[in-house]
Amino acid sequence: MLHLLAKYATEAEPGFAAKEVRWAIVFDAQARFLQVIELGDVDAKRNRGRMFPRCPDLSQPELVGGSETRCHFLVESADVVASYVRENADEKTVKRARDKHTCFVKLLCQVSSAAPVLGSIAEALDDPVTLESVQARLREGKAKPTDKVTLAIDDRTPHFLVEWDSWHDWWREFRRKLKSSSPARAAPQMRCFITGEFVEPCATHPKIKGLADVGGLPTGDVVIGFDKEAFSSYGLKQSANAAMSEEAASRYCSALNELIREHGRRLANAKVVHWFKEKVAPDEDPLSWLEEPADQQERNAQQRAKELLESIRTGIRPDLQDNHFYALTISGQAGRVMVRDWMEGQFQALVENINAWFNNLSICRRDGTGLANPPKFLAVLGATVRDLDDLVPPFVSKMWRVAVGREPIPLQALAQALSRARVDVIGDQPPNHARMGLIKAYHIRKKGDAAMSPYLNEDHPEVAYQCGRLMAVLAAVQRRALGDIGAGVIQRFYAAASSTPALVLGRLTRTSQFHLNKLEPGLARWHEARISDIWSRIKDRPPKTLSLEEQSLFALGYYQQMAADRAKASTNSNA
């Protein structure tokens, strides 16, 4: 996994990192302060700023090492770049910001030999009058002291200094001197965990950002880190337990940060990132089809999967035949990156699995008029719980593997979906398409059951399914005879009938005779014939109890019979 991540980040280099910057302090060509501009989507409710892919960056040991104050270069927080603090800040905070600002200006002066304009800007930022003007503009824009700030030249078309490459060599040399000035430590060469070469292992690895919403820290989390004595095997400390060169660590961390930032999808309390061996167009990414709302697609996800699969099989798209996919499920916990799951495989197999996922989930609409739209993956997860916050990462990871890897649906998912389906029926709530589709998919994946159709199957061999059908027909008879009477036969008897049909269905059938007597003779005979037909399939021996799987078949038979009846009623009404 780490090897593939490092391979993904072809341009990563230690000392450089992508950063989101909210504000830019703009100077003219003579380094006179002009204005402060907001970057990114200024109309967004939570503007994160503009992403700069190659910013100078110091590791945590580099920042805190040595006796003098240190800071980042060119991109830093507003309190460092402009000594910008809150009006009620205490003296300690003010002093810290002032010391950091002095360090920032000093760095600008040092790089002036490679970029002379930075020396002039350093003089401007060291001027109290200019600094007050910058602080006033930041305050007008309601900037926070922790917001990232960079520098730019020109007021018409700002040229951001962080995008110049004239300072790169100076920065590399600056970091090299920082390391050489650090106290010497015993660091014998070790075999790199990623490249296999003998290297001097770096003590700590860069942090992974973007997991704060799934248990991570806002400051970042580490994939590899050992801070307990129990992990210090053979006298190895910190990241030497999984030795890597600084370059290799920088590459895999850069790749993971980019994937989370650009392609990360939150699934309840976890995030999924994925990539391909060879580049794939966004509209041909099968994993994205699991997340896109079907009503926003020109062709729904299931149709697109079928079309792409056919083009691969017929040789129209040979470029995709040898491609591979990689998918990683992660979350944060106490400053560490938790790897929940890892998957890889052939691109064609991935498309086949996504197509099978949608086929297995396909279910008729609750009104019986055609198939429901293919559900989003998150909708399928939501069908198993009352609230999405109730989902736990292990279950999310397992269901993701079920969808992507074509694995059997766990019994836990069936139990939870069945419980929520029963609540819908008893509460007289509209049935959930994703929930009923998941119940159907469970049986298809466990037994390869050909009898599991998206629509009603009157010849289904399972007695439990036929018992569910009977319950739906008996409820329809009561509604025809008595109308809406509040708590009807379903609300009162569904739970018992779905678990102990022998105790309930016979009594309800006898009661239905009173309801049939209230109907027109022709309609009564039609309903009576339906009831008799279903009883003939049950063979007059309804089960005393139903297992969990049989209860799910009962629910499916009830739902599909109700949908078929609604479709007939709609057709008759139109006629």
Q: Does 30 map to a domain?
A: yes
* Res 547: pLDDT: 95
Q: Does 9 map to a domain?
A: no
Average pLDDT over residues 37-55: 89
In this prediction, residue 516 has a pLDDT band, given cuts at 50, 70 and 90, of confident
pLDDT digits (tens, 9 = 90+) for 529-559: 999 999 999 987 789 999 999 999 999 999 9
Average pLDDT over residues 385-400: 87
Q: Does 179 map to a domain?
A: no
Q: Does 5 map to a domain?
A: no
Sign of CA pseudo-dihedral 120, 126, 130, 136:
positive
Q: Does 10 map to a domain?
A: no
Average pLDDT over residues 515-540: 88
Q: Reply yes or no on whether the pLDDT at 513 is more than 70.
A: yes
Residues 404 and 472 in one domain: no
* Res 182: pLDDT: 59
Q: Name which residue leads in pLDDT, 251 or 298.
A: 251
Residues 111 and 161 in one domain: yes
In this prediction, residue 143 has a pLDDT band, given cuts at 50, 70 and 90, of very high
Average pLDDT over residues 483-504: 80
Query: Is residue 73 a contact partner of residue 171, using CB atoms and an 8 Å limit?
Result: yes
CA distances to 416, 439, 497 from 419, in Å: 5, 11, 14
* Res 292: pLDDT: 64
Q: Reply yes or no on whether the pLDDT at 294 is more than 60.
A: no
For 131-135, 162-166, 485-489, which range has the lowest pLDDT when averaged over its residues? 485-489
**The domain boundary residue, chosen from 141, 174, 207:** 174
Percent of the chain surpassing pLDDT 90: 43
Residues 39 and 147 in one domain: yes
Whether the full predicted model's pTM is greater than 0.85, yes or no, is no
In this prediction, residue 176 has a pLDDT band, given cuts at 50, 70 and 90, of confident
**Using the 8-state DSSP alphabet, how is residue 316 labeled?**
S
Q: Reply yes or no on whether the pLDDT at 299 is more than 80.
A: no
* Nearest alpha-carbon partner for 34 in 25, 42, 43: 25
CA distances to 329, 505, 532, 559, 560 from 470, in Å: 44, 8, 9, 11, 11
Q: Does 98 map to a domain?
A: yes
Best-predicted range by mean pLDDT (44-53, 62-71, 139-148): 139-148
pLDDT digits (tens, 9 = 90+) for 317-371: 888 888 999 999 999 988 899 998 899 999 999 999 999 999 999 999 998 888 9
In this prediction, residue 568 has a pLDDT band, given cuts at 50, 70 and 90, of confident
Query: Is residue 556 a contact partner of residue 439, using CB atoms and an 8 Å limit?
Result: yes
Q: Reply yes or no on whether the pLDDT at 575 is more than 60.
A: no
d(CA 535, CA 541): 9
In this prediction, residue 467 has a pLDDT band, given cuts at 50, 70 and 90, of very high
In this prediction, residue 289 has a pLDDT band, given cuts at 50, 70 and 90, of confident
Helix residue spans in 18-127 (DSSP H): 60-64, 78-81, 91-110, 116-125
Both tokens of 349, joined, read: 């197999």
* Res 571: pLDDT: 62
Which pairing describes strands 148-153 and 159-160: parallel, antiparallel, or unpaired? antiparallel
Average pLDDT over residues 472-478: 88
Residues 217 and 127 in one domain: no
Q: Does 4 map to a domain?
A: no
For 217-226, 300-309, 458-467, which range has the lowest pLDDT when averaged over its residues? 300-309
In this prediction, residue 295 has a pLDDT band, given cuts at 50, 70 and 90, of very low
pLDDT digits (tens, 9 = 90+) for 63-75: 877 678 889 999 9
Q: Name which residue leads in pLDDT, 181 or 384.
A: 384
Query: Is residue 365 a contact partner of residue 563, using CB atoms and an 8 Å limit?
Result: yes
* Res 422: pLDDT: 92
d(CA 497, CA 545): 9
* Res 480: pLDDT: 82
Residues 485 and 504 in one domain: yes
Residues 258 and 285 in one domain: no
**The domain boundary residue, chosen from 106, 140, 174:** 174
Residues 419 and 466 in one domain: no
Query: Is residue 436 a contact partner of residue 425, using CB atoms and an 8 Å limit?
Result: no
Residues 202 and 347 in one domain: no
* Res 234: pLDDT: 74
* Res 374: pLDDT: 87
CA atoms within 13 A on the CB side of 308: 28
Average pLDDT over residues 286-299: 64
Average pLDDT over residues 8-34: 87
**Mean pLDDT of the residues in the chain:** 87
Average pLDDT over residues 389-411: 89
Domain that holds residue 472: 459-575
For 106-110, 124-128, 222-226, which range has the lowest pLDDT when averaged over its residues? 222-226
Instruction: Please tell me the total number of residues recorded for the chain in this structure.
Output: 575
* Res 427: pLDDT: 86
Both tokens of 392, joined, read: 């736990």
Residues 278 and 372 in one domain: yes
Please list, in sequence order, all residues whose beta carbon lies within 8 angstroms of the beta carbon of residue 72, skipping any fewer than 6 positions away. 55, 56, 57, 58, 63, 80
* Res 298: pLDDT: 45
Residues 210 and 311 in one domain: no
d(CA 556, CA 433): 11
The number of folded domains in the chain is: 4
* Res 69: pLDDT: 83
pLDDT digits (tens, 9 = 90+) for 206-243: 889 889 988 999 888 999 888 777 777 777 777 888 88
Residues 257 and 277 in one domain: no
Q: Does 77 map to a domain?
A: yes
Residues 305 and 436 in one domain: yes
**The domain boundary residue, chosen from 245, 263, 281:** 263
Query: Is residue 523 a contact partner of residue 480, using CB atoms and an 8 Å limit?
Result: yes
Average pLDDT over residues 111-125: 89
* Res 237: pLDDT: 77
Phi/psi at 228 (nearest 5 deg)? -115, 150
* Res 186: pLDDT: 52
Q: Reply yes or no on whether the pLDDT at 60 is more than 90.
A: no
